[in-house]
Structure formats: structure tokens, C-alpha cells
């Protein structure tokens, strides 16, 4: 279990309110405190929440910080934990769960699995070094959801502060020969209730999906979080972040790599 010490009293209070809302599956109409203004403040809240949970971590989501916010915050990626009880292999009856009174969205993702861990103390990773620690890549679905309904409109620091706006990961088939990089040029299309809501390619990512791995390894090491074999890295929304509500059906078409289906359900109290 990863445990990271909390920081300020404000970080502790915000973390506790987010955790209480997640456990009760209750919505938050307003941000539960003073919103963080910097990424450092945001990760302090996330770390304070991690110090208070006993759930096993199965991986991490990486989201992109797009221009012009990347210049403002000095980074083009953000990270949040993915808990083991929200991760499942995708099946014919797959469901992803969102906070019905909060924010919910669906994202088509490439999922990278950590096969070996870097040496202690390394906090900067080239793309080649990052790729060397990966042993598999799969297609998949991230469920982006938070009890706070306004999370996606307040910028990356607020997103980070509530576990990166993550509430699950559905793991699809493996990508063969992923080291060739050909998957990055594969068009991906997302449909909700049969209507196209987005399309894209991983090649559009700055530094590619491997860039998300490089970022995450450095982010975790700098925060004192020990990286573990078997963790999944959800590397970023290929077709965009698409709002959903309970009852909707989602289809993500990765062409010859596979097509994924899931239905959105309402998160129940834990």
C-alpha cells in the first residue's frame, strides 16, 4: 500500500471531504475548500488523501494539460491513482461507475503495464528509458468521475486534488508489437448511445503515449512513491474526455486492435 504524508491543514481538510463524498457516493456542488492554485498544492491534497485510504493501488492515470494551461502550470501532464477495486478486464457485460450527482466522463486509452522498476533515486526518464520498464500495452477505457460536479471546468490543479478525477479502469486486449509504435497512428473513435462523440490518434500526444510513462515515473519518484511491477498506466484520452450519465452505452473502436463496449452505472456507497 502506498502511503504519503499529508501537508497543510487545508490539504488534510479537503482530502477528508473528498474521501467522505466518494465513500458515500454523494455529490459536491462546490469545491470543498480553497481550490489549489499550483500543482504542488494539488498533489499535497492528493497525497493527504492517499495517506488516509487503505485501498490497494493498481495503477495511475495520466491526463494531458493542454495549451495554454501547460505553460501556466509548467507541465503538460497530471497524475492520479487508480484503485484495484475499480479495475476489471473488459467483458460483454462490462460496466463503469460514475458519481451520479458529480462529474462523469469516458476516455479511450492505451494502458501500459510496468514490468520492471527503475532504480531508487532516479527522477528523470528519457522516452527510451521509460519504455524499457514496460512489458505490455493494452487498449482500455478510463472512467473519469468525481463527486465534485465542477471538477473538469476548474483546471488541472483541481483535477489532481481529487485523485486525478479517476473512478475506474477497464482493460481490453493486448496490443501486439507495440514497441514498433504503429498503434499510435491507429484512428480511434468513441460513440455514446451509437453517436460519434470523438476521434483521434495517440500520435497527437506530445512525446506520444510513452511520454506519459516518462512523466509518471518521474512524478512518482519525486513524490517518494515506490513504483511497483504490475501497475497499469492509463496514458491519456485519445479521442477526448466525453461526459456521460448512468444508463448510457459506450463503444470505443480501436480498429484492428479491438472494439470495447461498456455501460455506465451509478456508483454506490463503499
Q: Using one digit for the tens of pLDDT, what is the confidence trace for 13-50?
A: 999 999 999 999 999 999 999 999 999 999 999 999 99
**For 112-122, how does the pLDDT look when each residue is reduced to its tens digit (9 = 90+)?**
999 999 998 89
- Residues 96, 172: contact at Cβ < 8 Å? no
**Residue 2 resides in a domain:** no
The Cα 198–Cα 188 span in angstroms is: 8
Cis, peptide link before residue 68, omega less than 30° from 0: yes
Domain count for the chain, please give it. Answer: 1
Region 236-246 average pLDDT:
98
- Choose between 134 and 93: higher pLDDT: 134
User: Considering only 6-15, 205-214, 258-267, which range has the smallest mean pLDDT?
Assistant: 6-15
**Residue 88 resides in a domain:** yes
8 band by pLDDT with thresholds 50, 70 and 90: confident
* Parent domain of 208: 9-266
Percent helix, strand and coil across the chain, each to the nearest 5: 30, 30, 35
CATH of the domain at 155: 3.90.850.10
Q: 60 to each of 81, 89, 133, 149, 209, how far by Cα in Å?
A: 4, 16, 15, 22, 14
C-alpha cell at 124: 528523470
**Residue 144 resides in a domain:** yes
**Residue 160 resides in a domain:** yes
β-partners of residue 145 are: 104
- Residues 128, 210: contact at Cβ < 8 Å? no
201 band by pLDDT with thresholds 50, 70 and 90: very high
Confidence at residue 92, expressed as pLDDT on a 0 to 100 scale: 86
**Residue 61 resides in a domain:** yes
**Residue 1 resides in a domain:** no
- Residues 256, 135: contact at Cβ < 8 Å? no
Q: What is the mean pLDDT of the chain?
A: 95
- pLDDT of 234 higher than 70: yes
**Residue 27 resides in a domain:** yes
**Residue 3 resides in a domain:** no
The Cα 247–Cα 239 span in angstroms is: 21
Amino acid at each position: 500500500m502506498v502511503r504519503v504524508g499529508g501537508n497543510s491543514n487545508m490539504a488534510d481538510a479537503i482530502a477528508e471531504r473528498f474521501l467522505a463524498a466518494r465513500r458515500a457516493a454523494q455529490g459536491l456542488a462546490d469545491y470543498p475548500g480553497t481550490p489549489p492554485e499550483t500543482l504542488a498544492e494539488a498533489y499535497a491534497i492528493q497525497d493527504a488523501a492517499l495517506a488516509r485510504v487503505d485501498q490497494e493501488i493498481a495503477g495511475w492515470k495520466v491526463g494531458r494539460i493542454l495549451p495554454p494551461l501547460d505553460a501556466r502550470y509548467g507541465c503538460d501532464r497530471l497524475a492520479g491513482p487508480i484503485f484495484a477495486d475499480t479495475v476489471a478486464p473488459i467483458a460483454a457485460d462490462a460496466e463503469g461507475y460514475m458519481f451520479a450527482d458529480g462529474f462523469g466522463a469516458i476516455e479511450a486509452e492505451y494502458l501500459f503495464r510496468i514490468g520492471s522498476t527503475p532504480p531508487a533515486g532516479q527522477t528523470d526518464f528519457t522516452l527510451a528509458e521509460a519504455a524499457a520498464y514496460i512489458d505490455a500495452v493494452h487498449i482500455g477505457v478510463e472512467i473519469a468521475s468525481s463527486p465534485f460536479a465542477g471538477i473538469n471546468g476548474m483546471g488541472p490543479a483541481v483535477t489532481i486534488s481529487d485523485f486525478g478525477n479517476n473512478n475506474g479502469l477497464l482493460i481490453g486486449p493486448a496490443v501486439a508489437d507495440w514497441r514498433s509504435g504503429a498503434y499510435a497512428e491507429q484512428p480511434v473513435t468513441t460513440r455514446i448511445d451509437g453517436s460519434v462523440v470523438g476521434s483521434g490518434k495517440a500520435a497527437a500526444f506530445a512525446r506520444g503515449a510513452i511520454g506519459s510513462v516518462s512523466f509518471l515515473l518521474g512524478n512518482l519518484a519525486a513524490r517518494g512513491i515506490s513504483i511497483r511491477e504490475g501497475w497499469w498506466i492509463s496514458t491519456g484520452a485519445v479521442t477526448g474526455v466525453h461526459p456521460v450519465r448512468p444508463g448510457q452505452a459506450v463503444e470505443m473502436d480501436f480498429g484492428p486492435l479491438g472494439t470495447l463496449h461498456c455501460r455506465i452505472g451509478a456508483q454506490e456507497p463503499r
